[in-house]
Copies of this chain bind each other. A is one copy, B any other.
Amino acid sequence: MALCVVGSIALDSIFTPFGETADALGGSAVYFSVSGSLLHPVKVVGVVGDDFPMAELDRLAPRGIDWSGVERVEGESFRWKGKYSYDLQNRETLETRLGVFADFKPRISDGLRDAQYVFLGNIDPELQLGVLDQVKEPRLVACDTMNYWIHSKRDALMTLLRRIDVLMVNDSEVRELSGDWNVYRAARWILKQGPRLAVIKQGVYGAVLVDQDQFFYVPGFPLEDVFDPTGAGDAFAGGFMGHLARTGDLSTANVRRAMVYGSAMGSFAVERFSTARFDEIGPAEVTARVRAFSDLVHFDILP
């Protein structure tokens, strides 16, 4: 059951109180795939410029990432430069150079049209709709977006919502989109627009899953050392979708497990700069962290 991600492939320059990186591997499709491929092979659709260090991508291929859907075109790769506050809770964008990403029109190859699990990273909702026009009958489509699109492309976004299964956004995005400050009511509003699941990401505090009947909460993992929050949301999405693609089970109980796999991957992402933490871990570490999440919230009602 093929798992496909469409999103950005970037070179990030990041400043945190603990150090900095220049032109490090980043972008939603990259974080999604390094995370998701720990659970299930991932096929990536994206674009890079002719200045991109392809060896960085090639190095990751053996772990189950298929980069053949990535176009390499003339021009500069997407670059983002940002700086985090002392507590990593806020960040400032210092520079965004879209480069070849400005003209990105995702093309889904024949081999990818029957992808069963599709994640639409945070790009223009018109392009996200364009992807859905190219895939045949996906079993599950999940989608991220951001405040910029909520303001500038609201109509396209509302059309998109009718065609996706899972919307993954953060607190402020779901509030902006719904016009309701209460995230639980806001999430229920989302479900009326099309998606059958809403995943509300709350940064260090965790994430909540909302469907017609229930709420399910996974707290943020208690990390005493956090280095770089970049990509945590996309790593979450990779774990969530990777678990569902691997198991092929969309039951409520298994979607809850997917939330935990997502949270585990998000917690790994922030422990090192860029994607470095994913070079250090394998299935054993993922399983151990999922168990740690279970311990973190476990209680028996009766003694």
Interface 0/1 of A181-220, CB less than 8 Å to B: 1101100100000000000001001101000001111110
* A181 and B87 form a contact (CB under 8 A): yes
Cα-based distance from A224 to B95 in the complex (angstroms): 38
In the complex, A297 has a CB within 8 A of chain B: yes
A188 and B222 alpha carbons, distance in the complex (Å):
12
Residues in chain B near residue A214, CB distance under 8 A: 295
B247 near A219 with CB under 8 A, answer no
Q: Say whether A303 faces chain B, with CB atoms less than 8 Å apart.
A: yes
Convert A276-303 into 0s and 1s, putting 1 for each residue whose CB lies closer than 8 angstroms to a CB of B: 0000000000000011001111111101
How long is the Cα–Cα vector from A215 to B297 in the complex, in angstroms?
9
Alpha-carbon separation in the docked complex, A126 to B251 (Å): 56
Complex: A260 Cα to B216 Cα, angstroms: 16
A206 to B217 alpha-carbon distance, docked (Å): 11
- Is the pair A185, B224 in contact by a Cβ cutoff of 8 Å? yes
Closest to A86 in B: B181
A301 proximity list for chain B (CB < 8 A): 257, 290-291, 294
Taking a contact as CB atoms under 8 Å apart, the answer to whether B253 and A299 are in contact is yes
A258 to chain B, nearest CB (A): 10
> Does A256 touch B at the CB level, under 8 Å?
yes
This chain's copy number in the assembly: 2
Interface residue? A102 (CB, 8 A): no
Q: How far is it, in angstroms, between the C-alpha of A254 and the C-alpha of B302 when the chains are bound?
A: 9
A226 interfacial contact with B, CB 8 Å? yes
Q: Answer whether residue A223 sits at the interface, using C-beta atoms and an 8 A cutoff.
A: yes
Is the CB–CB distance between A223 and B294 below 8 Å? no
Closest Cβ of chain B: how far from A228's Cβ, in Å?
14
Q: Are B182 and A303 in contact (CB under 8 A)?
A: no
* Complex interface: chain B residues within 8 A of A215 (CB): 222, 296
Partner of A219 from the list B182, B185, B217 (CB cut-off 8 Å) is B217
Chain B residues, Cβ within 8 Å of A20? none
- Of all chain B residues, the one with the shortest Cβ separation from A256 is B299
Which residues of chain B come closer than 8 Å to A295, judged between CB atoms?
A: 214
B222→A217 contact, CB < 8 A: yes
Q: Does chain B have a CB within 8 A of A155?
A: no
A249 on the interface (CB 8 Å rule)? yes
Pairs across A and B, CB under 8 Å, 20 listed? A86-B181, A87-B181, A182-B225, A182-B226, A185-B224, A205-B205, A205-B206, A206-B217, A208-B219, A215-B296, A218-B297, A219-B297, A253-B299, A253-B303, A257-B299, A257-B301, A257-B303, A259-B299, A290-B301, A294-B301
A residues with a Cβ closer than 8 A to B are: 86-87, 181-182, 184-185, 188, 202, 205-206, 208, 214-219, 222-226, 247, 249, 253-254, 256-257, 259-260, 290-291, 294-301, 303
A-B pairs with lowest CB-CB distance, top 10: A217-B219, A205-B205, A87-B181, A297-B297, A256-B299, A215-B222, A184-B222, A184-B224, A185-B224, A217-B296
